[in-house]
Amino acid sequence: MAQIQFPDFMAITVGLVVYLLGESINNRVRPLRELNIPDPVTGGLVFAALTWGLYRAGVAEIGFDTHTRDLLLLMFFTGIGLNARLSDLLRGGRPLAILIGITAVLLLVQMAVGGLGAWIAGLPMGMGAVLGSTALLGGHGTVIAWTPELQARGLEAAPEVGIAMATLALVVASIIGGPMAGALIRRFGLASTEIEAGSVGLAEGYATGEITRNALMRTLLWIFICMILGFFVQRAIAEFGLNLPLFVPCLLTGMLVGNLIPLVPFIKPVSHTPTLSLVSEFALGVFLAVSLMSLRLWQLGGYAGTILAVLTVQTLIAVLAAILLAFRFLGRDYQAAVISSGYASFVIGATPTAIATMTAVTKRHGPCQAAFIVIPLLSALFVDIANALVTQGYLNLLSP
């Protein structure tokens, strides 16, 4: 079988093709538009299915270098930070507190379901961690980070199962939030009340100001400045023994700079402009397209049955939590619908998947600024730390 590895630049190029492929398919298939399926999700899954078919046929195993993809993620979160006004942060405080409370319980529920699934399947109880929140709310990075600990406890297959669980969960997360938001918006007759350009992307038929060459260059300049500052902030924080993912200080730096720029009269602001919205959409879209087209679906292996069964239950719980708890306690308005759709994708998949879901929803139904602040902050300020504590506690209790 041929081994084909696309270098970094070619991977991004293919990602652009995949993004446009997804947009073309969504434009032609009305149900996909009605269900708010993001364009890069459609294209990425089609391409991933193609590479899976080539692998199963014994033709080729295709892989991608994804270094630049990760830089696009930093651009995206920096853009989110630049768009976050102080008023948005204050408005997002209550929703953030509500989601933290729901997520604290959901972490335990996900881990319990993972443990039950491992017990029913006859697997070591420690495997429940990678069938639960470690792989779901944690994702691929968390599974990889816990691999030495899992293998030290005799769970040699745990990394394989965890990566497979996180991979399939990413696929599911990409498609559940949009339809859920559409159903809530139609059921309760909800609509956006905001008039400014959205944080990511532009709503269909939405009136915007002119996007100029100068505006694009200024926007990219401020994004790059904030990314550089975020890098130094991360290094400074690390000196105190706290290791944060780089996107967190980039997000926080963007928030600070975005709120300071309007105070300087001779600097044109970039926050809440169509240009920043489009740059953020480009960065997120290509990131997600490359992420999904790079999925190695053939690695699901012999645990596919167990993974599918457990993931089905976990997905049902996530959707119920988003509708019955998040949507209800957030106020049952348009903002609650958008945040809840992103939350459902977030607790099964990852933050970029949640943002892509909310982008698809807001492009169709209108902007919702607070939603794009609450979900990233939930991830940055709570989930990673809480998930680590829950994972460690589970392993100590059931896989000593």
Cβ neighbour number for residue 35 with a 10 Å cutoff: 19
What number is the average pLDDT over the span 226-255? Answer: 84
Name the DSSP class of 152: H
pLDDT of residue 33: 78
Over residues 1-47, the pLDDT tens digits come to 788 888 988 999 999 999 999 999 988 988 887 777 888 888 988 99
Is the CB of residue 190 less than 8 Å from the CB of residue 184? yes
Q: Which of 103, 4, 65, 72 is nearest to 356 (CA)?
A: 72
Rounded CA gap, 207 and 188, in Å?
A: 25
Contact 370, 92 (CB under 8 A): yes
Q: Which pLDDT tens digit goes with each residue over 338-383?
A: 999 999 999 998 777 888 889 888 888 888 878 888 887 787 668 8
pLDDT at 217 over 70: yes
pTM as predicted: 0.74
Please tell me the predicted confidence (pLDDT) of residue 199: 52
